[in-house]
Amino acid sequence: MTGRAEQITAPIAYHAEGPVWVDELHWVDMLAGDVLSLGPDGTVGRRHVGNVVAALRPRASGGFVYAVERGFALDDGTGTPVRMLPELWATDAKRMNEGGCDPDGRFYCGSMAYALTPGAASLYRLDPDGRVTTVLDDLTISNGLEWSPDGRLAYYVDTATGRIDVMDYDGDRGLTNRRPFATVETGSPDGLTVDAEGGIWVALWGGSAVHRFAPDGALSEVIELPVTQVTACSFGGANLDELFITTSRQGLPASAEPSAGALFHCQPGIAGLPVRRFAG
């Protein structure tokens, strides 16, 4: 099945990423360091967090946890300044990129080198007590990460591989047994989300589309967009049956793709899952 997404904002972001629904839609203008929010009337709010804000998830106690350029930060939701946690590296050669929360309330985010250096990236896990663990090494562009409806599987993208991988998950052992799940034939896999039926939706950087893969790995749906650099997708709305899609104009000439950087939207006829919250 093939559908088409509609544009619902102006091209307000340079490199939009990481949409997540928490009463309303939140996403990031990553390289501007800003968190965006979509109000009920369609207006867009903007809050500056730091040099880079790569991903966010709600906290169980209120507010948000952020992945920032060199690690993690906490926002208590009261309007006080964001609290930066200790940096995970000192170099300015890489940044955080994309992440998500596991069923036990731990927040993961992976990195990438600005120069796209192969093997220079890692996937990190922030525990509720503030401890950080390196989960995967020897990555290139650590990207989309989300769990199956029953929480027993996690789907993951290292963009340079050209595929979606799947891993087993339990609370004690964490992520294990990484293996290929599906290969992307058009563009490069970027951010992803999982629907209530266990389908995996992946944004295609350079592919002008979002693809849905069924739990058996078969391509089952294509959502087309009028821009090439599609970065991430997430379900939202009151019934979690709306798919929100972020896009980027990073590296594009000023006159190219006038809709790049806008937020897009469609109703694919399948509902998503409630966002998992960080327990810290």
* pLDDT given at position 46: 97
Enzyme catalytic residues: 190
User: Would you say residue 278 lies in a domain?
Assistant: no
* pLDDT given at position 1: 81
User: Would you say residue 152 lies in a domain?
Assistant: yes
Dihedral sign of CA atoms 48, 51, 55, 60 in order: negative
User: Would you say residue 205 lies in a domain?
Assistant: yes
Per-residue pLDDT of 8-55, as tens digits, reads: 999 999 999 999 999 999 999 999 999 999 999 999 999 999 999 999
User: Would you say residue 222 lies in a domain?
Assistant: yes
Which residue range is the domain that position 28 belongs to? 2-266
Per-residue pLDDT of 194-231, as tens digits, reads: 999 999 999 999 999 999 999 999 999 999 999 999 99
Indicate which CATH number applies to the domain containing 155: 2.120.10.30
User: Would you say residue 168 lies in a domain?
Assistant: yes
User: Would you say residue 40 lies in a domain?
Assistant: yes
* pLDDT given at position 2: 86
Rounded mean pLDDT of 167-178?
Answer: 97
Q: Which residue has the tokens 């966002």?
A: 275
User: Would you say residue 139 lies in a domain?
Assistant: yes
Whether 28 and 47 have beta carbons less than 8 Å apart is answered as: no
Output the pTM of the full model. 0.97
Helices and strands in the chain: count of H runs, count of E runs: 0, 25
Total domain count, the chain: 1
User: Would you say residue 279 lies in a domain?
Assistant: no
Give first-to-last CA distance, the chain, whole Å: 40
184 backbone φψ class: left, alpha, beta (φ>0; ψ -120 to 50)? beta
* pLDDT given at position 80: 87
Per-residue pLDDT of 235-276, as tens digits, reads: 999 999 999 999 999 999 989 999 999 999 999 999 999 999
DSSP for residue 14: S
Whether 25 and 245 have beta carbons less than 8 Å apart is answered as: no
Structure tokens, 205: 């950087």
